[in-house]
Amino acid sequence: MLRASALCEAAGIPTSSLVAEGFMGQAKATSVGLGLPNIPVAMMPGHPAAQSDAALRDNILGVTVEQVVANLTRGNELGAMGAEPDPDSVVFRGSFTEVNEHFVAQEWCDGLPIVPPTRDRIEAFLRFTDRARDESLGVLLPDNRTATVWSVAVNGVMAGCRPEYMPVLVALVEAMADPLYGVEHSGNTPGGETLIILNGPIADELGINQTQGVMRDGFQPNTSIGRFWRLYLRNVAGFLLHKTDKCTFGNTWRVLVAENEHALARIGWTPHSVDMGFEAGDNVVSIARYTGGNMVSSMAGSTPEELLPFLADAVVRQNSWQITFTMGQGYGKLRPLVLMTPIIAEVIAKAGWTKRDVKQYLFDHSRMRAWEFERFQRDWQRKPIWNIREQVELGNVPRDVFLASDDPERMVPIVWAPEHFMLVVTGDPLRTSNYVFGHNGQLGFPVAKKIVLPRRWATLRPPSQPLQAR
């Protein structure tokens, strides 16, 4: 809303944006990011979803309406923002402790010590890309700041990355800037956090953990690249807690997860990167934002038919309110993610099942009763869109998928098609478990980018790191 208001105000049309009380700080910070620090807003006291109709009416008439009238009838000095420091300028000099204290005071770090981004460290990172240091990788909301190769190197240093990770970091920021991903929603209410999935031979070359403990910090590339993502969201996109990041509870940043392509080669399944449109063997990073996840622990069975009911049940349990991205706030945008250990994948593959067969099984069995699906939308989410038949008749959702009959007990899927399930083989090779993520829909839609290595990669990078247990 504030972006629309900024356009109108710049054209000389007065506006007044309605903002709930808990989001006033975000409105002010977003206005600064838009370059107009005094965009007129009118406060709605409390939260409209936690008030009776009478209380909401009293608050609007007693507080909000007066502010709306004032904003539309009084002249308002929107102001302008000053220029930021030159990217190449030195902003502080001091000891390691002094630098870290300064970065904390300026809200340039996540509360943990950072590696001071000195010029020599930044230059070491820039040697691992053939792209110009001032090249734009996109413009990131909410601060409308240009993402540059230089700022990638700066935040890579701060996160504790090694210079040879630079090609991965550049590809990640390109994905962050992709409009399909929707970086502007990174601070939304559910507090979803992005998971980075890596494919390709670069996983072995950089010594990236792709087996036991794959989501645990402890391996430098997995940990520091994951931390880089959050630092870049903070320092360049502009997501700050109590300001533009309005997660209710939030998640902490996640380490990078690599798919175990050695296991895939043994069973004949294609990598996740191929599902995302790339060739097998390409170095690729994929991102999507997830609201949470849960372990499907100690599955038991020697056939797909014995194993997969565990998984189908877990997928539905993990994606409850998220069906608003199936039908409602989004249409066909839900992309649940499953991390499957190699031993489970091997059992399924030995039965002749492909990855596509697993996704078809999940599509056929990860379902809800139609009346329950509608109740989630109507009663628990208070969405205006909740009737399946109505949505089919409007042409918003496919009839053959959601309206096989009018029986309220019929089972309807939580996604539109089998390929909407995402499946990655990784984790402890000999543990019979899976992990299921709830997806944040179009507010963090899956995007993948190819990692472009510098021409001198073979001579620049250190020798391949010791491989993890396969």
Measured on CA atoms in the order 122, 254, 450, 322, is the torsion positive or negative? negative
Predicted confidence (pLDDT) per residue in 127-150, tens digit: 999 999 999 999 999 999 999 999
- The β-bridge partners of 198 are 258, 285
- The β-bridge partners of 19 are 43
Asked if residue 299 is part of any domain, the answer here is: yes
Angstrom distance (rounded) from CA 391 to CA 190: 25
Asked if residue 335 is part of any domain, the answer here is: yes
Predicted confidence (pLDDT) per residue in 259-272, tens digit: 999 999 999 999 99
Asked if residue 80 is part of any domain, the answer here is: no
Shared-domain flag, residues 423 and 307 = yes
Shared-domain flag, residues 41 and 174 = no
Asked if residue 141 is part of any domain, the answer here is: no
Shared-domain flag, residues 56 and 180 = no
Assess contact for 107 and 432: CB atoms under 8 A: no
Q: Which two tokens stand for residue 395?
A: 């042409």
Prediction pTM value: 0.90
Angstrom distance (rounded) from CA 72 to CA 68: 6
Asked if residue 176 is part of any domain, the answer here is: yes
Residue 53's domain comprises: 2-73
Angstrom distance (rounded) from CA 448 to CA 283: 10
In order, the DSSP letters of 188-209 are -TT--EEEEEEESTHHHHTT--
When pLDDT is cut at 50, 70 and 90, the band that residue 470 belongs to is very low
When pLDDT is cut at 50, 70 and 90, the band that residue 334 belongs to is very high
Asked if residue 40 is part of any domain, the answer here is: yes
Shared-domain flag, residues 347 and 207 = yes
Of 42-46, 59-63, 249-253, 266-270, the range with the lowest mean pLDDT is: 59-63
Assess contact for 50 and 81: CB atoms under 8 A: no
Asked if residue 26 is part of any domain, the answer here is: yes
Cβ burial of 435 (10 Å; 0-12, 13-18, 19+) is: buried
DSSP 447: E
Q: Which of 51, 73, 95 is the last residue of a domain?
A: 73
Shared-domain flag, residues 214 and 327 = yes
Shared-domain flag, residues 424 and 304 = yes
Asked if residue 325 is part of any domain, the answer here is: yes
Of 100-114, 158-172, 246-260, 382-396, the range with the lowest mean pLDDT is: 382-396
Mean pLDDT across the chain, nearest whole number? 90
Assess contact for 341 and 425: CB atoms under 8 A: yes
Element (H, E) at 306: helix 304-318
Predicted confidence (pLDDT) per residue in 173-229, tens digit: 999 999 999 999 999 988 999 999 999 999 999 999 999 999 999 999 999 999 999
Q: Which of 58, 73, 88 is the last residue of a domain?
A: 73
Q: Which of 73, 99, 134 is the last residue of a domain?
A: 73
Task: Select from 39, 46, 47 the least CA-distant residue to 2.
Answer: 39
Domain count, the chain: 2
Assess contact for 416 and 332: CB atoms under 8 A: yes
Of 140-144, 156-160, 377-381, the range with the lowest mean pLDDT is: 377-381
Q: In which residue are the tokens 């036991």 written?
A: 212
Residue 368: is its pLDDT beyond 80?
A: yes
Shared-domain flag, residues 213 and 345 = yes
Sequence length of the chain is 470
Q: Write down the pLDDT at residue 14.
A: 79
Angstrom distance (rounded) from CA 292 to CA 191: 9
Q: Write down the pLDDT at residue 112.
A: 96
Residue 447: is its pLDDT beyond 70?
A: yes
Shared-domain flag, residues 211 and 314 = yes
Task: Select from 239, 224, 91 the least CA-distant residue to 161.
Answer: 224
∠ CA 289-33-35 to the nearest 5 degrees? Answer: 150
159 against 79, higher pLDDT: 159
Shared-domain flag, residues 346 and 235 = yes
Shared-domain flag, residues 43 and 177 = no
Element (H, E) at 227: helix 220-232
